Amino acid sequence: MSLQAFGLILLAGLIHALWNIAAKKAGGDARFAFFTSLLMMFVWAPLGWWLGRDVVPLWSAREWGIVALSGLLHVLYYVILLRGYRKADLTVVYPLARGTGPLLSSLTAVLLLGERLTAMGVLGIAGVVGGVFLIAGGPGLLRVGRGGGDAQRRLGKGLTYGVLTGVFIASYTVVDGYAVKAMLLSPILVDYMGNLLRVAVLTPVALRRPAELRTLWTAQWRFALLVATVSPIAYVLVLYALQTAPLSLVAPAREVSMLFAALIGGHLLGEGDRAARIIGAVLIAAGVVALALG
């Protein structure tokens, strides 16, 4: 992995952790996803028009199909992530989602796309997965489902939603990676045009209860504007990194965001075992370095 790709992933990781903390604090549902997508459509419209005015009219059904699939997967991912944040702690849902996704993405890249992992890459993935395990609860994860009180049930919900979110992360990472690597589509256009589909899908859900929607908008628009402004930057940086680096390395290296989420989000939200979180963050950082060297 080149130093440029590694730098893009580091910056993307910091931005990604920050917008997830904002989404957790908003406590929103599919309507918050609608606010975010709608604001994203307007905030990024000038850049989307500038890059797409000569390119998008030339797209065939193949380009539109891959963008539509990307947009649908992103909708499902975001709605499930938000539900997980309402039901469980960020320091459980986030690491499980971020750990499951790249693990599945790397496996898919190796098995289906013909990419190969070096020994250093394998060690890097092991470090990321081990760090995620500790941050998400460590041995406590193995006791989920054996009874217990509210904390145990909350951990169980975090496990369920975290893993399910990770499945969609893996899915859209592979689809978007194919779009920018094999089809040579603009990373910015893939994200922006996919967001237009997200707005279309979420609009009927958001408009079911107009009075509630207005109340939620008043309470959540600031968080939604923050997410709409910065979240595309994080993901587009990753897509640009994918243009020059293998998916099997980029996907796990994105988990540097866990380092930022553990140190920033854990402090702001007061969640999790601080010692386990720090050890897990160090493991993730070491894993990311190994991936970069690999």
For each of the chain's 294 residues, which pLDDT tens digit applies? 778 888 888 888 889 888 888 898 898 899 999 999 999 999 999 999 999 999 999 999 999 999 999 999 999 999 999 999 998 888 778 877 877 766 676 667 777 767 777 788 788 778 877 877 777 667 666 665 555 567 677 778 888 898 899 889 888 988 998 998 899 999 889 999 999 999 999 999 999 999 999 999 999 999 999 999 998 898 888 888 888 788 767 766 776 777 777 677 666 666 656 677 678 777 877 777 676 666
Residue 209 confidence (pLDDT): 92
Predicted local distance difference test score (pLDDT) of residue 74: 94
Give the model's pLDDT for residue 111.
76
Domain boundaries, given as residue ranges, for the chain: 3-293
pLDDT score, position 32: 95
pLDDT of residue 102: 60
The pLDDT value recorded for residue 268 is 65
3-state secondary structure the chain: CCHHHHHHHHHHHHHHHHHHHHHHHHCCCHHHHHHHHHHHHHHCHHHHHHHHCCCHHHCCHHHHHHHHHHHHHHHHHHHHHHHHHHHCCHHHHHHHHHHHHHHHHHHHHHHHCCCCCCHHHHHHHHHHHHHHHHHCCHHHHHHCCCCCCHHHHHHHHHHHHHHHHHHHHHHHHHHHHHHHHCCCCCHHHHHHHHHHHHHHHHHHHHCCCHHHHHHHHHHHHHHHHHHHHHHHHHHHHHHHHHCCCCHHHHHHHCCHHHHHHHHHHHHHHCCCCHHHHHHHHHHHHHHHHHHHHC
